Amino acid sequence: TAANILTDADDFGNDASGLHMRVAFPQVSALESAGISVTDVTEEWLQDLESNFQRSTFVCEDTAQACASSANFYESYQRLAALHQRLDDIAANSGGLASIGTMGNSLEGRDQKLIEVRQDTLQSKPTVFYMCGIHAREWLPVHFCTYMAETLVNGGNGHPLLDKVNFIIIPVYNPDGYEYSH
């Protein structure tokens, strides 16, 4: 059946016209024989990917402060100094919800910065621990963790999750590898 050959499917939004999924090329004919309409969008995806790599803003190369304070921060990959500056800014604008800490220094002496986000420091709650950027070329998870911290703080208003749990987030666990991969 067609259901048996679906190896990877994702819902990419509220597109009622169909489901975007990835299947091996030999499975396309099986889907079509089951009466399922198939449209190959590989070329469109490749063109989109290529256009993103050709953008001049692929990696922000301004000063750390300029990159960290940019309204387009999440539209470019950031260097370690800009990420650390952004974390400092998130904590400074958190209304007391976030504080900056460190796990220590890496082998090459770079700070392994963390941000702790909690609603009430006196109340004992479970702590959710996120550690991103473990491997050198994991650039996207680093930005996810930074964005998550920013979303939890929500400009000092806090996120409803903070009523239930605290967060410790390390956006770049491997700062040496992260910098090396740039």
pLDDT per position as a tens digit, 83-125: 999 999 999 999 999 999 999 999 999 999 999 999 877 778 9
Instruction: Supply the pTM of this predicted model.
Output: 0.69
Give the residue from 32, 54, 76 where a domain finishes. 54
Domain shared by 117 and 38, yes or no: no
Domain shared by 47 and 70, yes or no: no
Residue-range definition of the domain harbouring residue 107:
64-180
Does residue 142 sit within a domain?
yes
Give the residue from 54, 73, 98 where a domain finishes. 54
Domain shared by 34 and 95, yes or no: no
Domain shared by 80 and 163, yes or no: yes
β-strand pairing of 166-170 with 127-131? parallel
Per-residue confidence at 72, pLDDT binned at 50, 70, 90?
Answer: confident
Does residue 59 sit within a domain?
no
Q: Rounded to whole angstroms, how far apart are CA atoms 182 and 177?
A: 9
Amino acid 55: pLDDT: 61
Domain shared by 50 and 119, yes or no: no
* CATH code where residue 105 lies: 3.40.630.10
Task: Please state the domain count of the chain.
Answer: 2
Domain shared by 153 and 112, yes or no: yes
Which residues on adjacent β-strands are paired with residue 160? none
Give the residue from 14, 36, 54 where a domain finishes. 54
Which residues on adjacent β-strands are paired with residue 115? 100, 169
| 101: Cα within 13 Å, side-chain hemisphere | 10
Q: What angle do CA 66, 69, 74 make, to 5 degrees?
A: 105
Domain shared by 173 and 83, yes or no: yes
* The pLDDT of residue 20 is above 80: no
* The pLDDT of residue 57 is above 70: no
